[in-house]
Amino acid sequence: MRTAFNRIEGPLFYGIVALGGLVTAIGLAAALYMEHMGHAVTGMNQQIVWGLPHVFAIFLIVAASGVLNVASIGSVFGKVIYKSRAPLSGLLCIAMLAGGLTVIMLDLGRADRLMVAATHFNPTSVFGWNVILYPGMFGIVGVYLWTMMERRMNPWSKPAGFAAFIWRLLLTTGTGSIFGFLVARQAYQSAVLAPMFIIMSFAWGLAAFLIVQRTMYRWNDMELPAAVRNRMKNLLGIFIAAVLYFIIVYHLTNAYFAKQMAFERFILLEGGIFPALFWLGYVGAGTLLPLAILFLPSLSNIRGSVVVASLLVIFGAFCQLYVFIIGGQSFPLELFPDMMASSSFFDGQVDHYSPSLPEFLLGMAGFGIAFTMTTIGVRLLRFLPQDDIAKLEAAGHIME
């Protein structure tokens, strides 16, 4: 039967919103502190200019694109059980994108000069493309939600969903291309990064969606139907395996070139914290363990196992991004191949980075913003999925 729609009421709702607002306020205060005191109070330096806040921001932006995949499967590819989840998918996309962009703007410094970037477009810069891609994503997803939630606009839902599908692929391609076109770091500048970021968005976005869906269901005394749960957990497993494939291809591509062998040894074997985070954090805890939980019947049938697997995927995502972003900057750029360079700038030496508390708090502000927006949205509008299982089974959609 169709599940009853309940709302988060009373003190619970206001307490949750207050918690999200507090996390956000503390993070914004940390950003103001770093803006006032300068980079001296962070772990960043002249070589490592993208620190822990960028790890948080890139995760939120990439996952925001991927979480919309749930809506795309329903609207673009016609999978009925995903259609009821499309509104929540769109809300999460807007909320996570807002959180990620807030963090990245405050971390880059001089957020007051945003209008300069917006009014002086540079078509030769990938960062310039993002000035169009990010606002465009807000607008298209907003229209998409309107077509889904306003009855008279329902006929336009499929075209809007198709436009959102194409736009989010462009957005994630642009995010991956920021690194792929960057020649100032030896770890990047690879054409593999654009499709790799797209498939990472699928896995991270679906993991985030499953956690939020489960949490909202619990708060509203609702239970996710077993058939829907199994379909979504299997899809998450496929995405996790696909991400691992692209990571392997990325490192094999680097290892094929002699000039990249030193970097590969550093990031995978000799780089201290980076190999540990890669092998234990990403490969072990963030990939192999979730796959075992999702596909071994003895583990996947345990209550809450899908949420645990999703949390591990997100943990692995942070490990992978830390290795990719911070490790890629720590390794020195080879300016003059086969020659020695020496100066007072520590040329040719591996740099070190230790995140500071204000950086962590700023990163958490992104999650605070996304959390608060999602909670208020679910409270005010009809975003929670509702499944008529009997009708879906009769139509044969559960067995698709």
Instruction: Give me the pLDDT at residue 45, please.
Output: 81
Q: Which of 225, 228, 234 is nearest to 81 (CA)?
A: 228
Rounded to the nearest 10 degrees, the angle between the axes of helix 86-108 and helix 357-380 is: 150
Lowest mean pLDDT of 156-160, 237-241, 313-317, name the range.
Answer: 156-160
Instruction: Give me the pLDDT at residue 3, please.
Output: 42
Question: pLDDT tens-digit profile of 130-179?
Answer: 888 899 999 999 999 999 888 888 888 889 999 999 999 999 998 888 88
Dihedral angle sign, alpha carbons of residues 108, 192, 208, 91: positive
**Angle 133-124-99 from CA coordinates, rounded to 5°:** 30
Dihedral angle sign, alpha carbons of residues 245, 175, 171, 87: positive
Q: What does the block give as tokens for 330? A: 């720590």
Residue 89's identity, in one-letter code, is S
Domain 10-335+351-384 coded CATH 1.20.1630.10? yes
The domains of the chain are located at 10-335+351-384
Q: Could you please report the per-residue DSSP string of 102-147?
A: HHHHHHHS-GGGHHHHHHS--TT-HHHHHHHHHHHHHHHHHHHHHH
Instruction: Tell me what percent of the residues of the chain surpass a pLDDT of 90.
Output: 46
Q: What does the block give as tokens for 133? A: 């891609």
Give residue 344's pLDDT band: very low, low, confident or very high (50, 70, 90).
Answer: low
- As a whole number, the mean pLDDT across the chain is 85
Burial class (CB in 10 A: 0-12, 13-18, 19+), 376: middle
- The SS3 assignment for 183 reads coil
Q: What does the block give as tokens for 256? A: 């094929």
**Angle 289-207-71 from CA coordinates, rounded to 5°:** 145
Give residue 2's pLDDT band: very low, low, confident or very high (50, 70, 90).
Answer: very low
Question: pLDDT tens-digit profile of 372-389?
Answer: 999 998 888 877 776 655
Rounded to the nearest 10 degrees, the angle between the axes of helix 86-108 and helix 157-180 is: 30
* Residue 316, CA atoms < 13 Å, CB-side half-sphere: 28
pLDDT at 400 over 50: no
Question: pLDDT tens-digit profile of 90-138?
Answer: 999 999 999 999 999 898 877 777 777 777 777 777 777 888 889 999 9
Instruction: Centre a 10 Å sphere on the Cβ of residue 226 and count the other Cβ atoms it contains.
Output: 11
Instruction: Give me the pLDDT at residue 1, please.
Output: 36
Rounded to the nearest 10 degrees, the angle between the axes of helix 157-180 and helix 52-67 is: 150
CA-CA distance, 207 to 35, in Å (whole number)?
33
